[in-house]
Structure 1
Amino acid sequence: MSNREKRGKVWLAVSGLVKSADGKWLVVKKRYGGLKGQWSLPAGFVETGETADEAVIREVKEETGITCAVKGLIGLRTGVIEEEISDNLILFLLEPQDIGQLKHQENELFEAKFIAPEVLLHEKNASILLRYLIEQNHVSSLPGIDGLNPGDQFGYTAYKLFF
């Protein structure tokens, strides 16, 4: 079964902008897919039983070895592939907890490293989303709100807002 078949017609992915204390951004160079050979932010799909913010922490850890905390929600990238697949990516701002542990997931990535955004902007292999974020010159985010319960009748085991 291909990844497309496994994901169905509606995809929900997450990506994390991880900034180091000195302002560098954590980027990865993928071995596969539409971003093969390009610098992009760590990303992956939300799995069954996890919230989007949990998924981004897991994906960044799996791809780069870096443990992070979510600082907020940056935004949403949404599109339709071949007039059929709804492709959605939620972008989070993350704060690294242990930069000393950087290592890349070799089966999925050529490389992972922290690079200054002004250097990335001039990289010919930087993704369009990465370039757009850098050109904005300021990335704002909405903080997460936890501990709310919309009512037991819904059966939520996790419920978070980003406003």
Structure 2
Amino acid sequence: MKRGNVWLGVAALVVDEEGRILVVKKQYGGLKGKWSLPAGFVDPTETIDEAVKREVLEETGIECEVDGVIGIRSGVIKDEISDNMIIFNCKPLHTNVTVEEKELMDASFLTVEALKNDPATSLLIHHFIDNRINYSLHMDETKDPGKQFGYTSYRLFF
């Protein structure tokens, strides 16, 4: 899919009841071989919360619930591409991981201690471990801005 020069991605910090974090190792890109969060691009027909649930499911087989937004990452690549990612806090509905082998080397729920001590753990995961996020912008699906806008889906996060 052609993305143009403005990219919108999503990532999920999925923590199970034991405090383990769902992580993946990509087979490509800047995070190749590193533990990172399940992530991907938003498709034209979905909201950001739908995209993050789809990406987690596609990459790991884990169905999850979105708790809220916990971060935004934004950068410019080679003075050409605005690369933006919304990071969600999610809860898994189960812990039976299935690795999507076309994109990933591995996927697993790992302990905070294991991730802290692994040199293959990404910067973003270290940030969330070190800062223990305890807040999020929660989703509200009950608002309707009016038919004049033509929304087929509408969510607020605050």
**Identity among equivalent pairs (%):** 53
Correspondence for 1:157: 152
Match of 1:25 among 21, 28, 33: 21
> What does 1:1-163 align with in structure 2 at a 5 Å threshold?
6-100=2-96, 102-163=97-158
TM-score normalized by the length of structure 1: 0.94
Tell me how far apart the structure 1 counterparts of residues 18 and 33 of structure 2 sit (CA, whole Å): 26
Stretch of structure 1 that moved more, 24-33 or 141-150? 141-150
- Provide structure 2 residue ranges, at least 5 long, that are not aligned to the other structure: none
- Contact preservation (8 Å) 1:71, 1:94: yes
- Contact preservation (8 Å) 2:70, 2:133: no
Tell me how far apart the structure 1 counterparts of residues 93 and 44 of structure 2 sit (CA, whole Å): 25
- Superposed CA RMSD: 1.0
SS at structure 2 position matched to 1:58: helix
Aligned length: 158
- Provide structure 1 residue ranges, at least 5 long, that are not aligned to the other structure: none
Tell me how far apart the structure 2 counterparts of residues 146 and 41 of structure 1 sit (CA, whole Å): 25
